[in-house]
Chains A and B, each alone.
Chain A
């Protein structure tokens, strides 16, 4: 008999066995003479490589990053309009704050009503969970030359905290509309960037573009992926065949191919004056690509819902559509959250591929600055590329850890 309650409290952090490391090393790394030799040789090489990297990074001249930080972050956004990206940043910090607070309050209320313990996340846990992000922000700020960005960042953190507490104390009736607040803030962010003489996404670059392509790509692809997954199970053979064909063709092709198709094929098919901008075409290509993968993720979630759930819903008289919407999808989608985050992480990194078409996203920006006359031939690639690597690593690592935490919390796979 499983009496597995939905768990709302924090899972205690894993404890790593510190002892036995020596034993383990003896057993696995030094168990005979050639293994010992190999271990030593490898160790020497790794240490040498690390030292070389550290030496390069420590002795390096970081002026190249300092001088190009804006390019890395927001591409060629006009320098006299920096208030726009900052305003957008504030919109998003407030958004994350409100949504986080509201979700946390919802979990608290459900737990209280169900009589379950609800342990609040402590400040310490937040620091442990998000230290890479905090570290990255500090590193980035250390490359700024005036005090304004630091002040604005602190302001953004304060705004986020304020929004979090606001989200937590929102009355229930309003909390139900948090998604609307989120939509409004997203629109506000875009208007701040593009409206009234600003720059639309076709002119964006740097990290801002990577984030835009990743978030917009996955969010817009989601409904299409959902439809494809449902289409794949449709009783109508036509719909089923179309869905399966689409999914399998797209999944059989590398993303770069789809991007090239977006750049050139769509470009040739549509007359010049109707042709969407290159960034738009990249976004469409990414959506088309991601939809197929999301469809497969959702299919896995749908399969995880036991047949008995559908039968129970049918037995009380729910129509097939309501059964899908109220019973199957909520359970299926919850089960797909970790896989969806994984998909998002790989998309975040793959957005660098648009560089091939001459779009200056973060990776491309860190590459091309080396041909500026001041730095040409100075071999600063290791510095600039390390910076890009750090940004992508922090984003991916944090998200993957959060997703694993969520997975434990939702108890996926142990119904």
Chain B
């Protein structure tokens, strides 16, 4: 299998492309949030997206599971092109899990019900199978003992791990993370990152918006720098951090490192 990357010098990704964005534009009214985004992400690849606030990182990954509708260009996920067709959208959402900055757990449901909801409603698993699957996922994020609690009873780090388990329970091919540790107290960041690192080592395809540079260095195949709705620079972590090419990248790195 050959890697087919736009930035082939900058990737170690092995699989075929599972996500492809071609010339994607996104407008909010007159404001252009995404400008001609081109990106191909291989199977099992881990891509970290960084950049200043308002640069379009969230918008980018939200276009991949159609939480935002792109205005021009093409978005393909595992061979399915996103269009207005609701069935296509459902299919793409089955194959992509998403983890939000604010967790967005369902507060009226127990942890177990949060995790079994989609397997039962979307994949139509029987209750027993769904619960078995959910317990597996909760073990994977290391909180099976919290299954009967409500989200409000958990710490932020635990809530975010439940959110990861909830996404994993759909057995997605791709996981999207939008600043998963930004809302967490410092002492809870590690427990979430550990779970994500394990996920990456397990071969999950991941796009992660984060400012955790340690995470990027440890597991990213590529680092993408976005600003003003554009992809400014892409590189392997080694190249990217040691030898950034663009002025905007250098400036940003000097501010956060």
Contacts and interface: CB of A to CB of B under 8 A. Distances in A.
A322 B118 CA distance: 10
A330 interface: yes
Contacts of B184: 1
Contacts of A331: 106-108
A319 to B, nearest CB: 7
Contacts of A311: 67, 100, 104
Given A1-B185, A308-B102, A316 B156 contact: no
A1 B94 CA distance: 30
Interface residues of B, number: 36
B29 to A, nearest CB: 18
Given A3-B153, A115-B149, A315-B96, 8 more contacts: A1-B183, A3-B156, A5-B150, A113-B148, A311-B67, A316-B122, A317-B170, A318-B121
Interface in A373-415: 415
B152 interface: yes
10 contacts: A3-B152, A306-B104, A308-B100, A311-B67, A312-B106, A315-B98, A315-B100, A316-B122, A316-B166, A327-B106
B153 A317 contact: no
A39 B8 CA distance: 87
B155 A315 contact: no
A169 to B, nearest CB: 22
Interface residues of A, number: 29
A315 B93 contact: yes
A3 B154 contact: yes
A113 B105 CA distance: 19
Interface in B59-99: 65-67, 90, 93-94, 96-98
Contacts of A5: 150, 152-153
Given A113-B148, A311-B67, A312-B105, A317 B122 contact: yes
Contacts of B153: 3, 5-6, 114-116
Contact of B170 (A4, A314, A316): A316
B117 A326 contact: yes
Contact of A315 (B148, B167, B185): B167
Interface in B129-165: 148-150, 152-156, 163
Nearest to A7: B152
B118 A317 contact: yes
Contacts of A326: 117, 121
A129 B66 CA distance: 51
Which 9 pairs show the lowest CB-CB distances between chains A and B? A316-B118, A312-B104, A315-B98, A308-B104, A317-B93, A317-B122, A113-B148, A5-B153, A1-B156
Nearest to B148: A113
B217 to A, nearest CB: 27
Contacts of A415: 107
A125 interface: no
A312 B90 contact: no
A334 interface: yes
Interface string A287-322: 000000000000000000010110111111111001
A115 B111 CA distance: 13
A2 interface: yes
A4 B90 contact: no
Nearest to A415: B107
A315 B174 CA distance: 12
Contacts of A313: 106
B116 to A, nearest CB: 11
A246 B108 CA distance: 32
Contact of A3 (B65, B108, B155, B163): B155
Given A113-B148, A309-B104, A314 B93 contact: yes
Contact of A309 (B106, B121, B170): B106
B4 interface: no
Interface string B162-198: 0100110010000000000001110000000000000
B149 A314 contact: no
Nearest to A316: B118
A322 B117 CA distance: 10
B110 interface: yes
Nearest to B119: A316
A327 B9 CA distance: 45
Contacts of B104: 306, 308-309, 311-312
A312 B110 CA distance: 15
Contacts of A315: 65, 67, 93, 96-98, 100, 167
A313 B107 CA distance: 12
- Which of A1, A312, A415 is packed against the most chain B CB atoms within 10 Å? A312
Nearest to A311: B67
Contacts of A309: 104, 106
Contacts of A314: 65-67, 93
A317 B90 contact: yes
A119 to B, nearest CB: 17
Contacts of A4: 152
A114 B149 CA distance: 4
